[in-house]
Amino acid sequence: MTWLKLIPAWAWALLLGLLLVAGQQIRVSLLQTELETERQARLDDAGKLGACRTTRTTLLGQVIEQNGALAELRAAEQERAARVRDVQQQAEGRAQQADQQAQLVLQERTPAGVDACAAASQAFDDELRRERGQ
């Protein structure tokens, strides 16, 4: 241990300082590597976030387009339903008129002594003339 006394105190201080500087340099180097890794991870995350936002915008546009198409289909369906109701009411009205006319024909009485076939034929001819407005 006496050989340690041969080295001056300033050399020990210098050696200790060099060891501290070397330790700090190693620590800084490791932290810089870690910082670069984290920076790259954040850049990757930012790229993924940008891609997600682009996809979201695209999907939102498609949803808006589909909602518009659905609204058009609903409007067309309502229009068709209204037309069907109108046509059905008209058909029911015509059917009711035809039924009333048929009831009138059935209620007509054949005079006694007249041929039933000839009377029926005459009744149908009269009904056709009424339908045609003659």
**Is-contact 119 111, C-beta < 8 A?**
yes
Identify the band that residue 61 occupies on the pLDDT scale cut at 50, 70 and 90. very high
Q: Rounded to an integer, what distance in angstroms lies between the CA atom of residue 129 and that of residue 27?
A: 114
Model pLDDT, residue 42: 94
pLDDT at residue 65 is higher than 90: yes
Q: Residue 129 is which amino acid?
A: R
Query: What's the pTM value of the predicted model, to 2 decimals?
Result: 0.47
How confident is the model over 1-49, as pLDDT tens digits?
666 677 788 887 888 899 999 999 999 999 999 999 999 999 999 999 9
Q: Rounded to an integer, what distance in angstroms lies between the CA atom of residue 14 and that of residue 36?
A: 32
How confident is the model over 74-123, as pLDDT tens digits?
999 999 999 999 999 999 999 998 888 878 777 777 666 667 777 778 87
* DSSP codes of every residue in 57-111: HHHHHHHHHHHHHHHHHHHHHHHHHHHHHHHHHHHHHHHHHHHHHHHHHHHPPPP
